[in-house]
Structure 1
Amino acid sequence: MRNYDFFNYEIVAECPHTGARAGRLLTPHGIIETPCFMPVGTQATVKAMAPFELEMLGARIILCNAYHLYLRPGIDVIEKAGGLHEFMRWDRAILTDSGGFQVFSLASFRKVNDAGVEFQSHLDGSRHFLSPALVMSIEESLGGDIAMCFDECTSYPITEDEAKGATFRTIKWAKLCKQAHSRKDQALFGIVQGSVFPSLRKYCSDALVDMDFPGYGIGGLAVGEPRELMYATLELMDQVLPKNKPRYLMGVGHPLDMTEGIARGMDMFDCVLPTRNARNGSVLTSKGNLNVRRLELREDFSPLDPECNCYVCKNFSRAYIRHLHKAGEILASRLCTWHNLHFMLELARKSRNAIIEGNFPQLLEVCKKVFGDETD
């Protein structure tokens, strides 16, 4: 029997010209307004950011990774701490990824069958076996507000037969995850796989919808396929997934892909790129990407983005941040990460407001002009 006392999703506005919708997602740790971007805190921390700083940025939910936390520090440590929220001192919502993507990225270090995955730790070479039931036990112990099913993530390019095998296994594992999951204050999302093959995507989504998950992730995209194939897949997902439940486009965080995803009915997004690129000196601006290490910024005392009102842009210059990067100072990564996360969170907020106000297509066109030629 369903128990959604701690979890509910409602649509508050829809764009009449696209599939974009603005919603409200109720979780045990607060209400999340969608569309939303989730900063990635893989190992119970968003790199270079303290929890209170994420609160200042307005983040309502972050993503943590069950695979990494299972290996280090170990689920027993987090349980003794009182769960993931208490361990990392974050009192807002958390989504835990099952680790399927990480396990399957190990390639030669893993063996997969219908029972689960045997793999070798990237940390110490130790052998482990993850089954759907064990993954559910791990995610329940972590105590996130949203847990993801264990799935078989595919790469690109891939043959239809290979994608079919992964799709069937994903469906089987989703059933086992649902049977094993028992925590009533945690929502379990199914994950739609099928690569870029419409028939497989529809078959997988139909099977998961029959299982009646409270939300659905769309996995296996942004893994090297052409953008037009990703967008076509999202258009199909918008047609076949329930309108009254949240859709989470997994691992997508390029500004254009996020807004194009919003236009195709997606609600939740995450990606490591905004923080990873920030640590390498690449920042997002209203004019596109900016590399702060460029020589011509040496005496540029303007902010990273004159149109941005974040703490970094209000207080520091391009010249100063370039100096920090060239000097190898930790503050460079912190300031650029702060700015990039503000940019993505603000883009999601602006998208939501544009949907409510009826001008989302205009925002989408601006994003296309600014980021249409960017590749990462």
Structure 2
Amino acid sequence: MKLFECEHCGQPLYFENTLCESCGHQLGYIPEVNKVTALEPEGQVFTALGAPGTLYKFCQNAELDACNWLIPSDSTETHCAACRHNRTIPDLSDAENMARWRKLEMAKHHLFYTLLKLKLPLRNRVDDPQGGLAFDFLSDQVDANGNVTTVLTGHDEGLITINVAEADDAERERRRTQMGEPYRTLLGHFRHEVGHYFWDKLIRDQGEEALEKCRAVFGDERADYGQALQTHYANGAPANWQESFVSTYATAHPWEDFAETWAHYLHIVDTLETARAFGIKVKPKIKLGSEMQAEVDFDPHKATNIEILIDNWLPLTYAVNAMNRSMGQPDFYPFILSPAVITKLGYIHDLTH
């Protein structure tokens, strides 16, 4: 994520900000120019200091404090490029659902920031009623007899379902511990599930040649998926899983290996952009420190190969993991990138580009 600033006063801004705390200007994000910009009201619409010459309006979800994205005022769209992918949102008359949905939207908009910067194909259910990308944000249901119908997070032909309970920090931590996962975040869920969507679009729908190239890296996805998951949950990952996989869940089936690797690729690209925005350099003061130096002085979204990303990512994670440990916190990036995993990340890099 890049670092934004208010064009009126120079105050540093976060992607989610809606008001400049320094000068009081209302703020909005314009995806076409990748700016969180200060706004001046013009009746019911706005001029943007960061994109003069065009009038803008807010996405309709801004009224619910769930979006800060802008749309050209003459557009017939009522929702922004991220929110128009929503198919179902939870019952917002429930205050808990409202709070959780806002967290979901924050994570989803962060996802779309990267997808748009990578110029990946994005079609919603209006563009493609059968296979467009859409989201259902649902909560568990309890019937009159107290029976609970649990919503499972997952993907099916472009439809991504997220259980809104994942937006509750305590519940998500409980599930992370129960599943034995080192890392579980809302943004991680979005990045993983959208990996399944892009497997469909960029591999399955591109014919046999694309499928064979993918199988050569991740294995044959025609293996029974249901049985593979049963075996994984019954037996866990193989003892040597870190030699070939980025996570234990990636060992379950080639589809999950692809989605986990896809998610980690997005983690890497987005975090390296943040490091670049803050001018972070890594130069360890030890005898072998020269082997662990990094300076992210390039746009990770436009990197020409995976080696450039990894050469900067590994030193950055060593440094931030060490800082987290100094604060008594878990590792920032608790994963090992073996040569086999880096090869898989290289495949994802080449695919996205």
> TM above 0.5, one fold?
no
Name which one, 1 or 2, has greater alpha-carbon Rg.
2
Higher RCO (CA 8 Å, separation ≥ 6 residues): 1
TM-score by length of 2: 0.27
The structure in which a higher percent of residues are strand is 1
